[in-house]
Amino acid sequence: MALKVKMAFDGGYDGILTAKKGSARIGGDEGSLAPYDMILGGLGACLKHTLQTILDKKRIEIGGVNFEIEGEKRSSSPTTLKEVVVEATVSNAKQEDEANIEKAFEIATRHCSVYQTLAEVALMRANIRFRQS
């Protein structure tokens, strides 16, 4: 199955990305996404999907997960990512499930295709913590 998006730009930097299931504004204006916003967001979405698949197979329920993902670009051209840090916070997990969730997260980083793609150019670090509401 081929992946496909369409993009239409004005005469400057602003445009619209349209995919099969949605769209996003691209550019420097308020409410728009820059290219690296989309890359880091794609990483978070991929990690969440991969993690959820593993948790579902293990029949582990969580209240949710939030990601804070930071990337540092190289100063030399091309300014590819130098380092990416993923901070995941899992909410409302049973304390007895935490070790299994940590293991599932580690497996998710190995099986998330976006994480592994970025690992080809950047040092990747991923941490997980737990929060009860």
SS3 40: helix
Q: Which residues contact 40 (CB under 8 A, 6 or more apart)?
A: 69, 70, 71, 84
**47 pLDDT higher than 90:** yes
Question: Among the residues of 35-87, which ranges form H helices?
Answer: 35-58
**1 pLDDT higher than 80:** no
**Rounded to whole angstroms, how far apart are CA atoms 89 and 129?**
5
Closest to 127 in 3D by CA, of 68, 86, 94: 86
What is the reported pLDDT for 133?
Answer: 79
**Rounded to whole angstroms, how far apart are CA atoms 54 and 13?**
39
pLDDT tens-digit profile of 63-107? 999 999 999 999 999 999 999 999 999 999 999 999 999 999 999
What is the reported pLDDT for 2?
Answer: 87
CATH node for 35-131: 3.30.300.20
Residue spans of the domains in the chain: they are 1-33, 35-131
Instruction: Could you list the beta-strand ranges (E) of the chain.
Output: 6-9, 15-19, 22-26, 64-73, 81-91, 123-131
What is the reported pLDDT for 28?
Answer: 87
pLDDT tens-digit profile of 14-31? 999 999 999 999 998 899
